[in-house]
Amino acid sequence: MKVLISLPWKRDDILRLDEFTKKLEAAGCRVTVSPGTARMTEEELIRAAQGCCAHICGGDAWTSKAMDALPEIRIISRIGVGHETVDIEAARNRGIAVTVTPGAGAQYVAEYAFTALLALSRRLYQNDTQMREGNWSPVIGRSVSGKTLGVVGFGLIGRQLARWAQGFGMKITAYDPKEDPDYARSNQITYLPLEELLRTSDYISLHLPLLPSTRNLIGEKELAMMKKTAVLINTARGGIVDEDALFRALQKKQIEGAALDVFCNEPLREKSRFAALDNILLTPHIAGGTYEGLTSIVEMAVDNVLKIINGETPPGQITPLRRNKE
């Protein structure tokens, strides 16, 4: 069984990659590792995955055409929780197992979101820029203690973020289509309708999957509801925020600031209009990208493949393997 591991990071970024490849080899797999591989297009994927039965990958374009061109593929093990670059119905119809890695990177994404919240609140970027330009001219920020953090999407990442924010004395409100009243009561969380959360929060952090129902969830209307001092943080998916509307809101200082780790089109083009703004923090889809975080999600992606080989159902399975394909 041939397995391709294509990673968007350098090999040394994954602390125990050799250990993971040995686990696959012990299960009878022939493993090819392709580090530093950006998101492969349909054509690039068809060339790279010839003869592969399993692919451990990032946001590569697993279209129905790619699946037809690679008839031996049986497992697509996505690194991370998103699977919008995989044609799920095409995989289901072909009996191809698709898995993701829920929970493996949750604490690292939450850590980034809270770091961004603090950096924007205390104006670290602006103060650093002033110092580098030789100006001793402090830019005053805000304290987070006593402020309200609105978490949109209250799953594993959102809950971890809430715990850390509460440690800094913040109040937590949450919006999620599937509320957990017992958890909310025992953890001092207040569920609110989305519009009320947007109107009342000082900081808003997005932790939702990109679905037809969440595309452009935050647009011109929603941005207009926010406080003038509000800060928006998106570590989920770029399509959840209408980037045109956000750019206008930031340009007009309609809200105080934003942090974007994800974008509608990645990688972000070199001359992005956002780069000209002084009230936004831009990072290259790195929220889960610590050495520990990357290692954790790659390990789970490898384990998902091994579980399917062994006839088990991994926790992040989206579509099952049709066993009569063996």
C-alpha 232/C-alpha 128 separation (Å) is 21
Told to judge if 92 belongs to the known catalytic residues of this protein, a careful annotator would answer no
Active-site residue identified among 123, 237, 256, 299: 237
Residue 55 appears among annotated catalytic residues? no
Of the residues 42, 44, 196, 266, only one is catalytic, namely 266
Catalytic residue among 74, 207, 285, 299: 285
Q: Are 212 and 239 in contact (CB under 8 A)?
A: no
266 is catalytic: yes
Catalytic residues: 237, 266, 285
